[in-house]
Chain A
């Protein structure tokens, strides 16, 4: 399941968590900071969501505004 994570699945996760991002195109290069509604508090929501959905805990230092969506995907795939 973890290996099946791709930009489409993560984009869907982000859009579910951040309703303001519903109309935003999210690609691998998209920075977390570019997701409408993203901040250091909402980062915890993404961390919790990914832990529940994929059983992977994203390290807190990775949940910074400079991290790209592609880097999150790689972290989920390779832990």
Chain B
């Protein structure tokens, strides 16, 4: 069977580290809540001049270097981002230019935090179509520029970063299956309300509407329920027991969500790769970044069976079954 095989992965995290203690404009007594409620101890912040495509290009170069591949050998570039450079054109177009990937088509997808599993599935489908041999998927997010710095219910959660996965046509190994789900009736649960056609800039009356917002309680319950549910669905239809999965690479939203999903599907919590303590929630970039770190640290090896799972705005969620 023709599959999208992972040839290499890469990542980029801006060098500026911002610890919880650095968020000293919030009440000192509240800072302890951040790690307790989220598991986040620090995050990375892009510089004033960096934009999302810069982060994406760094991650892509890291990935291409590991693969020993020149950018002009790419056929297509998919960028997942919910914090794009601008409303248009696609962030991916500047990434293509920065890389010098002149032969590659380039476009964006936006499935917010679940963009990673959607992008992996999309890259797999493009390769399975038989029309493409090599697709670079990048997830890049720069949330520190779309967050309200004064909002304790969002700002401490997130960080900036990018991850990349290079897929090539192959067989046996690769993306074996994907499940993607959306509940658009809950599309207001996570949003940046202002600046689009629903609330153009000249109709923003509450300045907070220009920034990222989420209903934290609702997201928490949704993520645990659907995260566990989609893993079960993916594994059941593939005839694989959760215990046979070598590593789960989950969206790094909140340590309590990751632990609850592990408990619900009855696998040891240690089977879930975790790095959000250092990077915070990097939205759709979190899974590719985590995957690259898991490979680099030897926690994920060639031949291992992996499940990637993500959930977020939309509300959308999904999972991929991958033989590394």
CA–CA, A47 and B193, complex, Å: 24
Verify if A16 is at the interface (C-beta below 8 Å from B).
yes
Contact of B151 with A45 in the complex, beta carbons under 8 Å: yes
Contact of B215 with A41 in the complex, beta carbons under 8 Å: no
Q: How many residues of B contact A (CB 8 A)?
A: 20
CA–CA, A40 and B36, complex, Å: 11
Contact of B153 with A44 in the complex, beta carbons under 8 Å: yes
CA–CA, A47 and B151, complex, Å: 12
Contact of B33 with A20 in the complex, beta carbons under 8 Å: no
The residue in chain A whose Cβ has the minimal distance to the Cβ of B188 is A20
Verify if B66 is at the interface (C-beta below 8 Å from A).
no
* Neighbouring B residues of A22 by C-beta, 8 Å: 206
CA–CA, A44 and B23, complex, Å: 13
* Neighbouring A residues of B208 by C-beta, 8 Å: 16-17, 19
CA–CA, A6 and B26, complex, Å: 26
Verify if A39 is at the interface (C-beta below 8 Å from B).
yes
CA–CA, A40 and B193, complex, Å: 22
Contact of B33 with A41 in the complex, beta carbons under 8 Å: yes
**Smallest distance from the beta carbon of B309 to chain A beta carbons, Å?**
23
**Given contacts A16-B208, A19-B208, A20-B188, is CB(A44)–CB(B216) below 8 Å?**
no
**Contact string, A38-66, partner B, CB cutoff 8 A, digits 1/0?**
11111011011000000000001000000
Contact of A41 with B37 in the complex, beta carbons under 8 Å: yes
**Smallest distance from the beta carbon of B292 to chain A beta carbons, Å?**
29
Verify if B203 is at the interface (C-beta below 8 Å from A).
no
Verify if B30 is at the interface (C-beta below 8 Å from A).
yes
Verify if B52 is at the interface (C-beta below 8 Å from A).
no
Q: How many residues of A contact B (CB 8 A)?
A: 17
| Cβ contact of A39, chosen from B27, B209, B216, cutoff 8 A | B216
Verify if B91 is at the interface (C-beta below 8 Å from A).
no
Q: Give the residues from 23 to 51 in chain B that come closer than 8 angstroms, CB to CB, to chain A.
A: 26-27, 29-30, 33, 37
Verify if A36 is at the interface (C-beta below 8 Å from B).
yes
Contact of A42 with B153 in the complex, beta carbons under 8 Å: yes
Verify if B86 is at the interface (C-beta below 8 Å from A).
no
* Neighbouring B residues of A45 by C-beta, 8 Å: 150-153
Verify if B217 is at the interface (C-beta below 8 Å from A).
yes
Verify if A37 is at the interface (C-beta below 8 Å from B).
yes
Candidate in B26, B27, B152 with the most chain A CB atoms within 10 angstroms: B152
CA–CA, A16 and B29, complex, Å: 24
Contact of B153 with A48 in the complex, beta carbons under 8 Å: no
The residue in chain B whose Cβ has the minimal distance to the Cβ of A15 is B206
Q: Please name 15 pairs of A and B residues whose Cβ atoms are closer than 8 Å in the assembled complex, sorted by A.
A: A19-B213, A22-B206, A36-B215, A37-B216, A40-B33, A41-B37, A41-B152, A41-B153, A42-B151, A44-B26, A44-B27, A44-B153, A47-B30, A48-B27, A48-B150
A-B contacts besides A41-B37, A45-B150, A48-B152, 8 pairs, CB < 8 Å: A16-B206, A22-B206, A39-B216, A40-B33, A41-B152, A41-B216, A45-B153, A48-B26
